[in-house]
Amino acid sequence: MAKLGVNIDHSATVRQARYRLAEANSAIVIEPDPVEVALAAERGGADSITAHLREDRRHINDRDIRMLREKISTKLNLEMACSDDVLSVALEVVPDYACLVPENREEITTEGGLDLKTHREKTARVVEALSGKGVICSIFIDPEPSQIEIAKAIGAPAVELHTGAYANAWGNSSKLARELERIKRAAEFAKSLGLIVNSGHGINYQNVGALLETFSFNELNIGHTIISRAILTGVERAVAEMKALLK
């Protein structure tokens, strides 16, 4: 069964809509606390907690990452761009996993995989630095063999296949079939190279089943849909419902 990594970024988005931690005094209750959301996700069955420390700290911040490292009992997966600033935090905190992603200041969420043809050397340096600390590095890439080959060549033990195109194809049966086949072939190719194969982006309660039928993924990283469901059901139940679908 695929493991479930719960991305808590959008709980921090809700917090930042009202509070800026740097401006708050100690008497103010800052909510929601992404760390408490992470603990609830674990109670619901999460196998790991994913948090994206962006360069502009638009949602998750340094305090969150340090507190997550201290408080959670599962695994911490730090999503990060290959920037020196965020790398310094990662080398200090030493998460269990690090997923290297592209980053655009104007985007709402990460769109598309990291282009290793363009960013090969910089990504390789970050993989080397994190691996030296015992962090298992994954690279978030589009499901393309050429990108997978570079990920293998620069020493990443894992890849996370970007499933956004599949998610966006929902409702178009022919396009959906093409995207599922593309993901399947990429996943099988990555596995043949000895890579751990994860996937993520745009996965929700409706489309997760068809994705799981294509390949036996190691882990799916899912965030927005769980946080959305949690508004109605609570975090524990929202995570438990997704976990049941993975089973």
C-beta of residue 96 within 8 angstroms of C-beta of residue 76: yes
Write the CA distances from 133 to 5, 88, 98, 136, integer angstroms. Answer: 22, 12, 11, 9
- CA angle centred on 213, ends 209 and 214, rounded to 5°: 125
Closest CA to 195 of 128, 134, 150: 150
Q: What positions carry a catalytic annotation?
A: 52, 79, 201
- Using CA atoms, how far apart are residues 152 and 3, in angstroms rounded to an integer? 22
Tally of CB atoms within 10 A around 46: 29
C-beta of residue 202 within 8 angstroms of C-beta of residue 164: yes
Residue 89 CB-half CA count within 13 A? 25
Work out the end-to-end distance of the chain between its first and last CA atoms, rounded to an integer number of angstroms.
6
Q: Describe the crossing of helices 173-192 and 145-153 by its angle, rounded to 10 degrees.
A: 30
Q: What is the DSSP string of 39-51?
A: HHHHHTT-SEEEE
C-beta of residue 73 within 8 angstroms of C-beta of residue 49: no
